[in-house]
Amino acid sequence: MVNNRWAKRKGINAERDLINLFWSQTGWCAHRIAGSGSSRYPSPDLIVGNNIRKLAIEVKITSANKKYFTLDEIDGLKDFSRIFGAEPWVAIKFSKSDNKNWFFFTLEDLNETDNSFNISLKDAEMKGLLFEELIK
């Protein structure tokens, strides 16, 4: 229970970190959807936008060198984004890496297996967009 609470707190802090990054940029706003993973309806962790773009973002932080996503997580992000008219994105921070940047991925950038999606730190550094690149 304590471990689960710590993981949840870590995730919430990561989401808030991104909210602050977006709000620090002129013309961008961001909102965190509390309990996004526990609703029966698909919902991303963050909804972000400006007068030109809307982004639906699933946020993850990991101490591992690879992050996995369930099929349901990615399908839910796709469904929400399609209905809402937003671009679906995944944001990942690899906390134990020397590179402390956020990496942003389209769903096509993720590696698909039979029962999950994943992205490694190595792939993140090659394929991922940095925050400054995402908001251009």
Q: Give the count of beta carbons closer than 10 Å to the beta carbon of residue 50.
A: 14
Q: Which of 81, 77, 74 is nearest to 54 (CA)?
A: 81
- Judging by DSSP bridges, how do beta strands 54-62 and 87-94 pair with one another? parallel
pLDDT tens, 119-133? 999 999 999 999 999
pLDDT tens, 24-43? 999 999 999 987 666 788 99
Architecture of domain 2-134 in this structure: 3-Layer(aba) Sandwich (3.40)
- 12 three-state secondary structure: helix
**Catalytic residue numbers, as ranges:** 36
pLDDT tens, 44-82? 999 999 999 999 999 999 999 999 999 999 999 999 999
pLDDT confidence of residue 39: 78
* Domain ranges within the chain, ordered by starting residue: 2-134
